[in-house]
Amino acid sequence: MVCIDIERPNRKNWREIVAEQEDVILTARLINGHFVVAFMHNAHSLVKLYDLQGEKSQELALPTLGSVQEISGRQNHAEFFSGFYLVFIPPHGEFAL
């Protein structure tokens, strides 16, 4: 994620906020002075909070393996909302085709 000054939009003026990582960014929002960023990691989502300088402040605990869909909230509110879909894990046992 980068910060672009609309008064000086040349690429040389861009500032990196959240560096490129192995995990892919699914969605990100600025909420209450933090970037809330959902990543895809090994076929499930992780949600991390970053301050305005791009320092990771915490990783949110999700209820189980699943996929975070669209984060919503307001910049001046402390709460945010997200869709969360469970990853289907088949029961243990033998399977035959």
15-16/24-31 β-pairing: unpaired
- Average pLDDT value for residue range 7-26: 93
- Average pLDDT value for residue range 17-43: 93
Residue 28 in this model has a pLDDT that exceeds 60: yes
Residue pair 44/67 in contact (Cβ under 8 Å)? The answer is yes
- Average pLDDT value for residue range 72-76: 89
So what's the pLDDT on residue 14?
Answer: 95
pTM: 0.80
Q: Alpha-carbon distance 46 to 71, whole Å? A: 12
Amino acid symbol at 27: T
So what's the pLDDT on residue 90?
Answer: 61
pLDDT digits (tens, 9 = 90+) for 32-46: 999 999 999 998 999
DSSP result, the chain: -EE--TTS-SGGG-EESS---SSEEEEEEEETTEEEEEEEETTEEEEEEE-TTS-EEEEEPPSSSEEEEEEEE-TT-S-EEEEEEEPP-PPSS----
